[in-house]
C-alpha cells in the first residue's frame, strides 16, 4: 500500500511540474482543463496496472515437487504500532476534511433557501444582503441585492459568472475537493486544486472576450470587482485579486497550432512513460522437472533387455507371441546403451513382419457416397412424412446400411420418418359419405354441389383400402358441355319476322321488316308468353318453327301498359298452331 501511495505522489508531481512549466503558458484553456482532470485519474490508475510474465524454471525432480507443493507456514508476527498510529492520523484528518466539505455544501443549501431567488434564462440569481462580490456554484449565480436592484452590476462580470455556470466548472471543483479530502497528504493534489480554479477563471474570461468585450474595459471591470470581493462559499467560482495579474496576462497570450500539437504530444508521451515506469510486472514461476542425463543403461536395464531379447529369439517362431510393450521397452533400453554395452548384450533380434491389420468394419467411401446420394433424394422431398421410395432404392439403402459401422451410421444421412399409419374414416364419416353419394346418384341431373363433392372426396381420402372397397364409388363427373346451337324461327305468314336465340349467350334477336331489335337476357330478360302461358326459361328450342302461328314483340311503353312493371324489359308473345 505504501508503495502505491508513493507512486501516486510521484506521478501527480511529474504531471503538475509539466503543467506549471509548459502547459500553462498556452491559452488553449479547454485542453488545460482536460489535462488537469486527467492528472489525478492517471496518478491513481497507472500504479494498479499489472503485466503478467510466465517464467519456467527447471529443477531436479525432488526440488520441483517440493517447490510446487510447498506449503506456506505462517509465523506469528509482532504488532506494528507505527502502522496503527499512521492509520489513526490518516483517518482523523480524513474525517476533518470530509466534514469541512459537507459543511460547505450544507451552507450553500441554507444560502439558497435564505435569500431571494430569481430564475432567468436557465440561471438562478441569488440576491445576497451584504456587500459580497459575485460568485457561482452550479447554475446559481450569487449577486449583491443592492447592486442588482440599482442595476449597477457590470454586464461583463455577469457574463463571466454565466460562463462558469454554462461550462459546469462546479463539477470539477466538487471532484477535486473530494480528491483532496481523501488524499490530503498529497501536496500535488492541493496544487492541482488551485490550478483548476485558476484555469476556470481563464475559461470564463475567454468566453467574455469572445462575446465582444474589449480587453481594456474588461480589465477595469475585473479590478473594480476584485476590490470588494469576499467569497462566502469556498467551493464556488469567485473573483480573487491575487490571481488578477495572471488572468490579465493570460488574456494577452497567443497560442499557435504548433504549440497545441506539442502540448498534446507531451501529454501522450508522459502517459506512456508513466505506464512504463510505474506499472508492475507479476512473474508466475512454473517449476519443471529437469531430466538428468545418464551415460548408458543401468545394469538392471541391461539385464531386462537380455531377458526380453532371449525370449523373442525362439526356436519355434510359428508359436511366438510378441507383445508390443516388450518391443517398445527393449528398443528404449537399446537406445540408451553405449557402444560397449551393445557389443556385450544379446543382439537385437530380427522380428517377423507384423500381421496385416484386420479389415476396418463398415463400408467403403464409395458406398457411403452412394447411400447419401439416395437418402438425400428422399430427404429433400417437400413432404417428408409421405415419401414414396422406389423399391430398388429402398433395397439398396437397406443393403448398405446393414454393412455400416456404428460411426458410419451416425455420420450418414438420415432417412425421413415413415408416414403415419392410416387410421381410416370414422363410422360417422362413412355414414355421411354414403348419404352424399346417394343424394348425387338419385338426383340424376348431373348437377353437383361443390361442397358435397369436396366433403365426399375428403372422407374418401381418409378411408382405408377395405373401406373404399365396401363403400359406393363416387359418382361420375358431369358430361362435358356441348357447343351451343343457334336456331332461327321464320313465320310462315311471311310477316318478315324471325327470332334467333343462342343458348350460351341468352340474347333474343327479333327481325321485323328489316328492323333489328336486341334484347339482352343475361341480367334483364324479357318475359315470354307461349299460347298465353308465361314461360320463365327460354325453351324456344323445344318449339318447332313449323308450329308457330304468330310472334309479337312488345317493348317500352306498349309492353308496360299491357303487362305493367313485368313488361319493362319487353314481352315476346308466341302463338302456336292449333293441333
Task: List the Cα angle 530/531/534 in 5-degree steps.
Answer: 45
88 part of a folded domain: yes
Q: What is the mean pLDDT of residues 212-240?
A: 66
Do 314 and 95 touch, CB atoms closer than 8 A? no
169 and 212 part of one domain: yes
Q: Are residues 518 and 541 in the same domain?
A: yes
**452 or 180, higher pLDDT:** 180
Q: If you average pLDDT over residues 34-38, what whole number do you get?
A: 91
- Given this model, what pLDDT does residue 286 score? 72
Which of 574, 84, 53, 99 lies closest to 282 in space, CA to CA? Answer: 53
Is residue 228 classed as helix, strand or coil in its secondary structure? coil
Q: Which of 155-159, 224-228, 250-254, 420-424 has the highest mean pLDDT?
A: 155-159
> Quick check: is 24 in a domain?
yes
C-alpha cell at 493: 305468314
Residues in the chain: 579
Beta carbons of 401 and 374 less than 8 angstroms apart? no
Q: Are residues 46 and 173 in the same domain?
A: no
Query: Do 372 and 521 fall within a single domain?
Result: no
Residue 234 has pLDDT above 60, yes or no: no
Cell of 87: 492509520
- If asked whether residues 131 and 228 sit together in one domain, one would say yes
Closest CA to 499 of 484, 485, 488, 507: 488
Q: What is the pLDDT of residue 500?
A: 46
Cell 455577469, located at residue: 158
Q: What percent of the chain has pLDDT over 90?
A: 3
242, 200 Cβ separation under 8 angstroms = no
CA dihedral 356, 357, 363, 369 (to 10 degrees): -90
Quote the number of domains for the chain: 5
Q: Are residues 102 and 55 in the same domain?
A: no
Do 98 and 36 sit in the same domain of this protein? no
Average pLDDT over residues 182-198: 89
Distance between CA 107 and CA 180 in Å, rounded?
Answer: 20
Within a domain: 328: no
Q: What is the mean pLDDT of residues 539-545?
A: 63
In order, the DSSP letters of 138-188 are TTEEEEEHHHHHTT-S-HHHHHHHHHHHHTTHHHHHHHHHHHHHHTTT-HH
Q: How far apart are CA 275 and CA 46, in angstroms?
A: 6
Residues 132, 188, single domain; the answer is: yes
Q: Tell me the HSE value of 443 on the side-chain side, using a 13 A CA sphere.
A: 14
Identify the residue whose cell numbers are 460562463: 163
Averaged pLDDT for residues 294-313: 80
- In a domain? residue 538: yes
How far apart (Å, rounded) are the C-alpha atoms in residues 156 and 521?
98
Q: How confident is the model at residue 306 (pLDDT cuts 50, 70, 90)?
A: confident
pLDDT tops 60 at residue 431? yes
Residue 376 lies in a domain: yes
Q: Are 188 and 179 spatial neighbours (Cβ–Cβ below 8 Å)? A: no
C-alpha to C-alpha distance for 56 and 250, rounded to whole angstroms: 58
337-351, 415-429, 438-452 — which is least confidently predicted? Answer: 438-452
Q: Is residue 325 a part of any domain in this protein?
A: no
The pTM score is: 0.44
Q: For residues 17 and 41, state if they share a domain.
A: yes
Domain shared by 95 and 233, yes or no: yes
- Residue 212 to residue 226: CA distance in whole angstroms: 22
Rounded to whole angstroms, the Cα distance separating 242 from 246 reads 8
- Pair 23, 262: CB distance under 8 Å: no
DSSP string, 249-318: HHHT----HHHHHHHHHHHHHHHHHHHHHH-EEEEEEEEEEPPPP-SS--HHHHHHHHHHHHHHS-S-GG
Q: Which residues contact 168 (CB under 8 A, 6 or more apart)?
A: 138
Identify the domain containing residue 171 by its residue range. 82-251
Q: Which cell goes with 401?
A: 446400411
Higher pLDDT, residue 381 or 504? 381
pLDDT band at 292 (very low <50, low <70, confident <90, very high): very low
Q: Are 102 and 237 in the same domain?
A: yes
Mean pLDDT score, 403-417: 79
The alpha carbon of 146 is separated from its chain's Cα centroid by a whole number of angstroms, namely 61
Which pLDDT band holds residue 497 (cuts at 50, 70, 90)?
very low
Q: Which residue has the cell 489535462?
A: 35
Evaluate whether 259 touches 7 at the Cβ level (below 8 Å): no
Give, as one character, the DSSP assignment of residue 541. Answer: G
Give me the mean pLDDT over the 464-486 stretch: 64
Distance of CA 559 to the CA centre of its chain: 79
User: Which residues on adjacent β-strands are paired with residue 510?
Assistant: 499, 517
Mean pLDDT over the full length of the chain? 75
Listed residues 232, 251, 270: the one ending a domain: 251
pLDDT for residue 5 is more than 60: yes
In a domain, 314, yes or no: no
Question: How confident is the model at residue 417, as a pLDDT?
Answer: 62
302 is a domain residue: no
Instruction: Tell me the pLDDT tens digit for each residue of 37-76.
Output: 999 999 999 888 888 877 766 555 444 444 544 444 444 4
* Cα–Cα dist 3/77, whole Å: 21
175 in Cβ contact with 208 (< 8 Å): no
**Could you tell me if 143 and 204 lie in one domain?**
yes
Q: How far apart are CA 41 and CA 177, in angstroms?
A: 14
Distance between CA atoms of residues 93 and 182, nearest Å: 9
Amino acid at each position: 500500500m505504501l508503495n502505491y501511495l508513493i507512486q501516486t505522489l510521484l506521478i501527480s508531481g511529474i504531471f503538475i511540474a509539466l503543467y506549471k512549466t509548459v502547459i500553462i503558458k498556452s491559452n488553449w484553456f479547454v485542453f488545460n482543463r482536460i489535462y488537469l482532470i486527467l492528472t489525478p485519474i492517471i496518478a491513481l490508475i497507472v500504479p494498479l496496472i499489472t503485466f503478467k510474465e510466465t517464467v519456467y524454471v527447471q529443477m531436479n525432480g525432488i526440488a520441483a515437487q517440493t517447490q510446487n507443493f510447498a506449503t506456506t507456514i505462517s509465523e506469528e508476527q509482532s504488532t506494528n504500532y507505527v502502522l496503527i498510529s499512521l492509520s489513526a492520523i490518516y483517518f482523523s484528518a480524513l474525517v476533518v476534511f470530509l466534514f469541512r466539505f459537507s459543511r460547505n455544501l450544507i451552507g450553500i443549501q441554507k444560502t439558497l433557501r435564505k435569500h431571494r431567488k430569481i430564475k432567468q434564462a436557465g440561471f438562478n440569481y441569488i440576491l445576497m444582503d451584504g456587500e459580497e462580490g459575485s460568485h457561482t456554484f452550479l447554475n446559481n449565480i450569487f449577486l449583491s441585492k443592492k447592486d442588482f436592484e440599482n442595476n449597477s452590476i457590470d454586464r461583463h462580470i455577469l457574463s463571466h459568472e454565466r460562463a462558469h455556470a454554462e461550462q459546469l466548472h462546479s463539477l470539477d471543483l466538487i471532484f477535486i475537493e473530494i480528491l483532496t479530502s481523501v488524499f490530503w497528504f498529497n501536496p500535488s493534489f492541493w496544487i492541482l486544486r488551485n490550478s483548476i480554479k485558476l484555469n476556470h477563471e481563464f475559461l470564463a474570461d475567454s468566453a467574455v472576450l469572445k462575446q465582444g468585450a474589449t480587453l481594456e474595459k474588461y480589465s477595469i471591470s475585473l479590478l473594480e470587482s476584485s476590490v470588494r470581493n469576499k467569497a462566502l462559499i469556498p467551493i464556488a467560482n469567485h473573483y480573487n485579486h491575487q490571481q488578477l495579474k495572471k488572468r490579465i496576462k493570460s488574456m494577452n497570450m497567443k497560442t499557435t497550432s504548433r504549440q497545441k500539437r506539442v502540448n498534446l504530444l507531451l501529454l501522450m508521451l508522459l502517459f506512456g512513460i508513466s505506464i512504463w515506469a510505474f506499472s508492475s510486472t507479476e512473474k508466475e514461476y512454473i517449476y519443471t522437472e529437469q531430466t538428468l542425463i545418464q551415460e548408458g543403461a543401468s545394469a538392471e536395464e541391461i539385464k531386462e533387455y537380455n531377458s526380453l531379447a532371449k525370449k523373442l529369439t525362439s526356436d519355434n517362431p510359428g508359436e511366438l507371441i510378441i507383445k508390443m510393450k516388450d518391443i517398445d521397452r527393449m528398443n528404449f533400453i537399446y537406445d540408451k546403451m553405449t557402444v560397449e554395452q551393445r557389443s556385450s548384450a544379446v543382439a537385437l533380434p530380427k522380428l517377423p513382419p507384423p500381421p496385416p491389420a484386420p479389415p476396418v468394419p463398415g463400408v467403403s467411401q464409395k458406398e457411403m457416397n452412394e447411400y447419401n446420394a439416395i437418402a438425400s433424394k428422399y430427404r429433400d422431398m417437400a413432404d417428408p412424412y409421405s415419401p414414396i421410395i422406389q423399391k430398388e432404392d429402398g433395397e439398396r439403402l437397406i443393403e448398405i446400411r446393414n454393412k455400416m459401422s456404428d460411426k458410419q451410421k451416425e455420420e450418414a444421412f438420415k432417412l425421413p420418418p415413415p408416414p403415419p399409419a392410416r387410421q381410416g374414416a370414422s363410422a360417422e364419416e362413412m355414414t355421411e359419405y354414403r348419404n352424399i353419394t346417394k343424394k348425387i346418384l338419385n338426383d340424376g341431373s348431373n348437377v353437383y354441389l361443390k361442397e358435397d363433392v369436396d366433403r365426399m372426396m375428403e372422407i374418401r381420402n381418409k378411408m382405408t383400402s377395405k373401406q373404399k372397397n365396401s363403400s359406393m364409388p363416387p359418382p361420375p363427373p358431369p358430361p362435358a358441355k356441348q357447343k351451343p346451337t343457334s336456331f332461327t324461327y321464320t313465320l310462315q305468314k311471311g310477316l318478315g319476322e324471325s327470332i334467333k336465340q343462342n343458348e350460351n349467350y341468352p340474347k333474343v334477336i327479333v327481325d321485323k321488316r328489316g328492323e333489328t331489335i336486341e334484347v339482352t337476357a343475361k341480367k334483364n330478360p324479357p318475359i315470354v308468353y307461349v299460347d298465353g302461358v308465361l314461360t320463365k326459361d327460354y325453351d324456344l328450342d323445344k318449339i318447332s318453327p313449323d308450329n308457330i302461328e304468330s310472334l309479337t314483340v312488345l317493348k317500352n311503353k306498349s309492353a308496360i301498359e299491357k303487362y305493367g312493371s313485368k313488361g319493362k324489359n319487353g314481352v315476346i308473345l308466341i302463338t302456336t298452331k292449333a293441333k
